Amino acid sequence: MDNYRIEHDSMGEVKVPAERLWGAQTQRSFENFKIGVEKMPPELIRAFAILKKSCAEANRELLPEKMTEEKLSAISAACDEIIAGKLPNEFPLAIWQTGSGTQTNMNLNEVIANRGNRIAGKKLLHPNDDVNMSQSSNDTFPAAIHIAAICETKRTLLPALSGLIDEFSRLEKENEGILKCGRTHLQDAVPIRFSQEISGWKALLDRSREQIILSFETLSNLSLGGTAVGTGLNAPKGFDRLVAEKISTATNHPFKTDPNKFHSLSSQDEAVFAHGALKALAADLMKIANDIRWLASGPRTGLGEITIPANEPGSSIMPGKVNPTQCEAVTMVAAQVMGNDATVGFAASQGNFQLNVFLPVIAYNYLQSVRLLGDVVESFRKNCVSGIKPNVEKMTENVNKSLMLAAALNPSIGYENAAKTVKRAFEKNITLKEAAVELRFLSEEEFDRVFRPEEMT
């Protein structure tokens, strides 16, 4: 590099680009881990800035002789800029670094210190002594994962999910009374109302939302105060509880200190549990998207029971073809989230002694799942679900053709005679009524009296 300044750490001097706010440890990591293109998620950086500001506030109350009001003001101002997304280029480090995330913790410490010094107009802050006061990478990174996971889920995913649930509620009300063929094992089954089918989709999402919110209970535990190995070395008494209160105020979410820091530093079971709820949502979205694209298949040789919006041409060779692209995007995201869940689970199993050293990959996969699910749920609602229309004529035709309506005959002629009626109707390509009369199980008048598909739902 042509334009640089000299920074130093415990290992010696390092050249750092002159325009950058980071310091020696960030630069070493940047040079030593040129692996992949995956960088620390901005959601995690924001959570770290919230954490660092809250730690400084707690230190101001507990260690006022070390954390002066002037230092707190400079740290807070720098953190506020990071929280607002004003310094995105100052956090260049790869996911594939030390498994504790130490270099990213130091990246935050260095940027906050250097930016705070510029704000103060003098050499006021030290990355380790001031910004990292009462902390270790080992307790800050797990805490930042929990903060980012909850904050981003509440900010993006839950509002999008609620919007999709509301859309299905509207569709359910608008499509009451429409009779259609039910299907099990991909085969015709007894009738169902279209509104009932939609209510099932809505209930899947309702339950997923409940499970995601339920996962916040344990995810709200914070490791801060455990410092290096869980003993709280170099952290003042009460720091863990006070900093949890500060973070709760900053995020408007009730975070609390983990009662056992030896657990919170070495285990990521809360992330596994919470990401399991995201995987459950992905599974539900996969089912709903598949149902919708099957029901919209055709338009002439498929089921064709609903129509969905035609958003873009579907083929470079077949003119006029329109594909269920939004459904396909949903299913691809679902597949990615399920893969992320496997990564999170395996990474969480690798806690050795007093620390888990797979933290960056857990953070990356968890936050990618939240981001993808939030985006695809909103896209699916806006570009597909909002435009679903029933093809009532096709639904009625399929109901009338279904041989499984013979279940309505069971009380009158018994299961075995009803089965014979179905077999005769299928073999001769005639209606159930014609088959029942031909087999002399019922007269036409008796059949009309007992055969009421609308009452089967």
Number of domains in the chain: 3
**Is-contact 419 201, C-beta < 8 A?**
no
Shared-domain flag, residues 152 and 197 = yes
Shared-domain flag, residues 153 and 57 = no
Quick check: is 238 in a domain?
A: no
Q: How many angstroms separate the CA atoms of 163 and 145, rounded?
A: 26
Mode of pairing for the β-strands spanning 221-222 and 4-9: unpaired
Instruction: Choose, from 29, 54, 169, 185, the residue flagged as catalytic.
Output: 185
Quick check: is 232 in a domain?
A: no
pLDDT in tens, the chain (457 residues): 679 999 999 999 999 999 999 999 999 999 999 999 999 999 999 999 999 999 999 999 999 999 999 999 999 999 999 999 999 999 999 999 999 999 999 999 999 999 999 999 999 999 999 999 999 999 999 999 999 999 999 999 999 999 999 999 999 999 999 999 999 999 999 999 999 999 999 999 999 999 999 999 999 999 999 999 999 999 999 999 999 999 999 999 999 999 999 999 999 999 999 999 999 999 999 999 999 999 999 988 999 999 999 988 877 777 778 899 999 999 999 999 999 999 999 999 999 999 999 999 999 999 999 999 999 999 999 999 999 999 999 999 999 888 888 888 999 999 999 999 999 999 999 989 899 999 999 999 988 898 888 888 8
Q: Which pLDDT score, from 0 to 100, does residue 1 have?
A: 67
The answer for residues whose C-beta is within 8 angstroms of residue 35's C-beta and 6 or more apart is: 94, 96
Quick check: is 105 in a domain?
A: yes
Quick check: is 234 in a domain?
A: no
Shared-domain flag, residues 48 and 83 = yes
Q: Which pLDDT score, from 0 to 100, does residue 317 have?
A: 73
Identify the domain boundary among 352, 372, 393: 393
3-class secondary structure, 181: strand
Q: What is the CATH number of the domain that holds 315?
A: 1.20.200.10
Q: How many angstroms separate the CA atoms of 385 and 306, rounded?
A: 11
Question: Catalytic annotation on 126?
Answer: no
Shared-domain flag, residues 342 and 264 = yes
Q: Which pLDDT score, from 0 to 100, does residue 32 have?
A: 97
Shared-domain flag, residues 325 and 377 = yes
Identify the domain boundary among 105, 133, 161: 133
**Is-contact 258 265, C-beta < 8 A?**
no
Instruction: Choose, from 315, 369, 386, 443, the residue flagged as catalytic.
Output: 315
Shared-domain flag, residues 174 and 320 = yes
Q: Which pLDDT score, from 0 to 100, does residue 300 have?
A: 87
Q: How many angstroms separate the CA atoms of 327 and 336, rounded?
A: 14
Q: What is the CATH number of the domain that holds 421?
A: 1.10.40.30
Supply the pTM of this predicted model: 0.95
Shared-domain flag, residues 161 and 101 = no
Quick check: is 242 in a domain?
A: no
Shared-domain flag, residues 117 and 155 = no
Quick check: is 352 in a domain?
A: yes
Quick check: is 155 in a domain?
A: yes
Q: Residue 311 sits in which domain range? A: 144-214+251-393
Q: How many angstroms separate the CA atoms of 10 and 382, rounded?
A: 54
Backbone angles phi, psi at 453, to 5 degrees: -55, -35
Shared-domain flag, residues 277 and 149 = yes
| Residue type, position 131, single letter | V
Give which of 137, 100, 130 is closest to 114, Cα–Cα. Answer: 130
Quick check: is 355 in a domain?
A: yes
Q: How many angstroms separate the CA atoms of 103 and 227, rounded?
A: 16
**Is-contact 135 63, C-beta < 8 A?**
no
Q: 310 vs 135, 160, 233, CA distance in Å?
A: 54, 22, 61
Q: How many angstroms separate the CA atoms of 454 and 396, rounded?
A: 11
Give which of 330, 331, 334, 333 is closest to 380, Cα–Cα. Answer: 330
Q: What is the CATH number of the domain that holds 85?
A: 1.10.275.10
Question: Catalytic annotation on 315?
Answer: yes
**Is-contact 71 125, C-beta < 8 A?**
yes
